[in-house]
C-alpha cells in the first residue's frame, strides 16, 4: 500500500512538472512582468524616512509614594498598555500638531491632519524591557526627527505635570488642619495607611470590642461597669489608630514634599535625522514582484490547462475521446537531409525506434483476430504527422520479416515520395488508366532501396477528381490483389475533416489507426473526426500521440530516455 501511494505521488508530481514545462515560458514572462512592475513601483514611490526615539518608562518611581490613589491597584501590564495608548492619544498629537504647525507640510496638511500624524506614528515596545521605540515616518528626514522628539518630549512633560498635580492634591489634604470628608477619605485610602499591619490589628480589635459592646448593651444599661469598660477600651483603640494614622500621614507628607516632582519617564536616545529611507524597500519589492508574477503565471498555466481541450497524454485519449492508446511517437531532431525513418535503421536503442516498435507490438494485439489485415492511418486535420508515423511504422513492420506495402492514399497532398525519394511517374493514380490491367499493378509499386521487404506505392500524378476515382471498383480490385501479394497493406490517408477521402477508403479497408498531434489536436475536432469514421463503418484499432516532446517525468520519459542511451553507450564500449 505504501509503495502504491508513493507511485501515485510520483505520477502526480510528474504531471505537475509536465504541465509547467508545457508553458514554462509563459511563467517566465509573468515573472519578468512582475519584476518590471516592481522596478516601476520602486522608481515611482516617494522615499519615506523613519526617525526613532527610545523611551524608558518605569512604573511610578517618584520616590516610593504612589501619588495616585488607584495606581497601586493597576497591574504592570495594564500600566504599560495605558502608557502606550497615551503616547498616541489624540490630545497629545493635537498638542504636537499645533506646536509644530504641521499644517504647513503637505504630508500632514488638513483636513484630517492629526489623523495623518497618527498614521505616521508607531509605538514599538521592546519585549521584556521597560523600553519603547517611538517611530515617526515622513518624506522629509529632518521633519521625521523633529516630530519624533516632539512627541516624546511632550509625553514626558505631560507625565510630570500630571504627577505634580496629583502630588499637590495629596499635599493639600495632608496640610489641612480640619480635613473635609473627601480629604479624610483620601488620607485613609493612602496605601501606606491601608497596608499598615499595626493599624489593621488595631481595627480588628475595635471590631471585636464593637461586637462585645452590642452583646452587653442587650443585657445592661449604659452605666453598667462592663459597658463602661468596653467603651473605654474602644476610645483608647480609636485614639491609638488616629495617632498611628497621623504619624504615617506626617511621614508621607515629608516624603512627598521632596519627591512629588520626580519623573518615571525619560528619553534614553533622542531621534536623529535618518540618512537612508525605509521605503521603498527595493529588494523586498523586487522579490514580491517576482513571486507574485510567478504565482500569477502558475495560476494562469493551470487555468489554461484546465480549459485546454487538446490531447497530450494517454489519459486524455481515454477520458476525452474514450479510445484505446497504442503509443507515442516522440518528436525527434534529425540531421539535415536525413530521412524521417533514419533512426529506425541505426544500431542501438533509440527512443523513437523503441516507441515505434512498441506501437507495432500494440498493433499486433489489436489485430489478433486478423494479424495481416490491412488498415488506414489517418488524423483529424492536416499536419499532424501521419506520413512520419506511416514511414517509421512500415519500416518497423518490414524489419519484423513481413513483406509490407505502404500506399500513399492522399491524392491531393502526397508526401511519401519525398520521404522515400521515389518517383511520382508511377503510383496509385495510374491504376485508373483506361488500358490498365491487373498485371500493371506491380509496375506502379516501387521498392525502398535501403529497407528490406518494404514497398511503396506513391500517389502518382495528381488526378483532377480524387474522390470520384476512390469510388470506382478498380480500387477494390487493386486492394484485393495487394493483400494476396503482400503480408501487410497500409494506406496513408488524408485528414478526415477537410475531405471525404478517408471515409471512401474505409469502404474497402474498415480498420484505422488515429493519430493526434501532442498538445495541438483539439479534442472536439478529434471527436468529430471519430464520429465520421464510426458512421463510415471503420473500426478504430487505437490512437497514437505524435510529436511527443521529451521533458518532465510524464510517462517516465526522462528515465526511459536515459536508460536507452545508457545501454547504447554500453554496447558501443
- Give the pLDDT confidence of 551-572 residue by residue, as tens digits: 533 333 333 433 334 334 444 4
Q: What is the bridge-based pairing of β-strands 325-330 and 375-379?
A: unpaired
Inform me whether the pLDDT recorded for 403 exceeds 80. yes
The whole-number average pLDDT for the span 169-174 is: 60
Confidence of residue 327 (pLDDT cuts 50, 70, 90): very high
The whole-number average pLDDT for the span 73-82 is: 79
- The pTM (predicted TM-score) of the whole model is 0.56
Inform me whether the pLDDT recorded for 105 exceeds 60. yes
Cα dihedral sign for 482, 484, 487, 488? positive
Q: What is the pLDDT of residue 554?
A: 36
Q: What is the pLDDT of residue 364?
A: 92
Ranges 94-98, 238-242, 490-494: which has the least confidence: 238-242
Report which DSSP code applies to 495. Answer: P
Contacts of 45 (CB under 8 A, 6+ apart): 279, 280
- Decide which of 165 and 398 is more confident: 398
Inform me whether the pLDDT recorded for 183 exceeds 80. no
Confidence of residue 94 (pLDDT cuts 50, 70, 90): very high
Contacts 24+ apart (CB under 8 A), 205-208: 205/237, 206/234, 206/237, 206/238, 206/241
Number of H helices, E strands in the chain: 20, 12
Q: Which of 62, 49, 270, 262 is CA-nearest to residue 152?
A: 270
For the record, the C-alpha cell of 308 comes out as 485546454
Q: What is the pLDDT of residue 545?
A: 93
Ranges 217-221, 333-337, 468-472: which has the least confidence: 333-337
* pLDDT, the chain, mean: 83
H-type alpha helices, 428-556: 466-469, 473-485, 501-505, 523-535
Inform me whether the pLDDT recorded for 69 exceeds 70. no
Inform me whether the pLDDT recorded for 106 exceeds 70. yes
Q: How many percent of the chain have pLDDT more than 70?
A: 84
Inform me whether the pLDDT recorded for 161 exceeds 80. no
H-type alpha helices, 422-543: 466-469, 473-485, 501-505, 523-535
Pairwise CA distance, residues 411 & 409, whole Å: 6
Confidence of residue 25 (pLDDT cuts 50, 70, 90): very high
The whole-number average pLDDT for the span 355-373 is: 92
Q: What is the pLDDT of residue 73?
A: 45
Give whole-number Cα distances, 492 to 211, 342, 376, 425, 434, in Å: 121, 19, 6, 19, 25
The helix/strand/coil state of 334 is coil
Give whole-number Cα distances, 165 to 143, 154, 188, in Å: 32, 16, 20
The helix/strand/coil state of 69 is coil
Pairwise CA distance, residues 222 & 229, whole Å: 11
The whole-number average pLDDT for the span 62-75 is: 48
The whole-number average pLDDT for the span 154-171 is: 73
Amino acid at each position: 500500500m505504501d509503495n502504491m501511494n508513493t507511485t501515485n505521488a510520483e505520477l502526480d508530481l510528474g504531471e505537475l512538472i509536465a504541465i509547467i514545462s508545457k508553458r514554462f515560458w509563459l511563467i517566465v514572462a509573468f515573472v519578468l512582468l512582475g519584476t518590471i512592475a516592481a522596478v516601476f513601483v520602486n522608481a515611482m514611490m516617494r522615499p519615506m524616512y523613519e526617525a526613532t526615539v527610545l523611551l524608558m518608562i518605569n512604573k511610578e518611581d517618584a520616590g516610593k509614594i504612589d501619588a495616585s490613589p488607584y495606581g497601586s491597584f493597576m497591574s504592570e501590564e495594564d500600566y504599560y498598555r495605558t502608557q502606550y495608548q497615551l503616547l498616541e492619544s489624540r490630545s497629545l498629537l493635537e498638542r504636537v500638531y499645533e506646536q509644530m504647525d504641521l499644517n504647513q507640510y503637505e504630508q500632514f496638511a488638513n483636513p484630517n491632519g492629526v489623523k495623518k500624524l497618527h498614521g505616521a506614528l508607531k509605538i514599538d515596545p521592546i519585549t521584556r524591557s521597560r523600553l519603547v521605540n517611538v517611530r515617526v515616518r515622513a518624506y522629509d528626514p529632518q521633519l521625521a526627527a523633529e516630530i519624533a522628539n516632539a512627541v516624546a518630549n511632550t509625553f514626558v512633560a505631560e507625565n510630570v505635570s500630571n504627577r505634580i498635580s496629583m502630588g499637590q492634591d495629596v499635599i493639600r489634604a495632608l496640610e489641612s488642619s480640619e480635613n473635609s470628608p473627601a480629604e479624610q477619605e483620601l488620607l485613609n485610602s493612602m496605601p501606606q495607611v491601608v497596608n499598615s499591619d499595626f493599624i489593621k490589628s488595631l481595627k480588628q480589635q475595635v471590631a471585636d470590642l464593637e461586637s462585645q459592646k452590642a452583646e452587653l448593651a442587650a443585657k445592661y444599661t449604659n452605666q453598667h461597669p462592663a459597658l463602661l469598660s468596653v467603651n473605654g477600651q474602644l476610645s483608647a483603640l480609636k485614639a491609638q489608630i488616629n495617632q498611628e494614622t497621623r504619624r504615617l500621614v506626617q511621614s508621607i507628607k515629608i516624603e512627598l514634599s521632596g519627591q512629588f516632582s520626580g519623573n518615571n519617564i525619560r528619553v534614553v536616545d533622542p531621534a536623529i535625522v535618518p540618512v537612508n529611507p525605509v521605503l521603498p524597500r527595493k529588494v523586498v519589492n523586487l522579490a514580491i514582484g517576482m513571486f507574485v508574477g510567478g504565482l500569477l503565471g502558475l495560476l494562469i498555466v493551470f487555468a489554461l490547462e484546465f480549459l485546454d481541450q487538446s490531447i497530450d497524454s494517454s489519459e486524455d485519449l481515454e477520458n476525452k475521446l474514450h479510445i484505446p492508446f497504442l503509443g507515442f511517437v516522440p518528436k525527434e531532431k534529425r540531421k539535415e537531409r536525413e530521412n524521417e525513418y533514419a533512426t529506425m535503421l541505426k544500431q542501438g536503442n533509440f527512443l523513437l525506434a523503441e516507441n515505434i516498435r512498441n506501437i507495432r507490438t500494440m498493433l499486433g494485439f489489436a489485430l489478433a483476430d486478423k494479424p495481416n489485415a490491412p488498415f488506414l492511418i489517418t488524423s483529424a486535420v492536416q499536419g499532424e504527422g501521419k506520413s512520419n508515423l506511416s514511414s517509421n511504422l512500415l519500416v518497423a513492420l518490414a524489419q519484423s520479416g513481413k513483406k509490407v506495402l505502404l500506399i500513399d492514399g492522399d491524392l491531393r497532398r502526397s508526401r511519401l515520395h519525398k520521404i522515400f525519394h521515389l518517383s511520382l511517374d508511377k503510383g496509385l493514380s495510374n491504376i485508373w488508366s483506361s488500358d490498365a490491367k491487373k498485371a500493371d499493378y506491380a509496375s506502379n509499386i516501387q521498392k525502398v532501396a535501403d529497407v528490406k521487404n518494404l514497398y511503396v506505392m506513391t500517389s502518382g500524378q495528381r488526378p483532377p477528381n480524387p474522390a470520384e476515382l476512390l469510388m470506382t471498383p478498380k480500387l477494390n480490385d487493386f486492394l484485393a490483389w495487394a493483400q494476396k501479394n503482400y503480408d501487410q497493406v497500409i494506406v496513408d490517408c488524408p485528414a478526415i475533416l477537410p475531405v471525404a477521402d478517408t471515409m471512401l477508403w474505409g469502404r474497402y479497408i474498415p480498420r484505422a489507426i488515429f493519430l493526434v498531434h501532442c498538445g495541438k489536436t483539439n479534442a472536439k475536432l478529434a471527436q468529430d473526426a471519430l464520429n465520421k469514421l464510426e458512421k463510415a463503418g471503420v473500426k478504430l484499432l487505437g490512437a497514437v500521440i505524435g510529436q511527443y516532446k521529451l521533458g518532465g517525468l510524464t510517462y517516465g520519459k526522462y528515465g526511459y530516455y536515459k536508460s536507452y542511451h545508457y545501454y547504447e553507450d554500453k554496447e558501443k564500449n
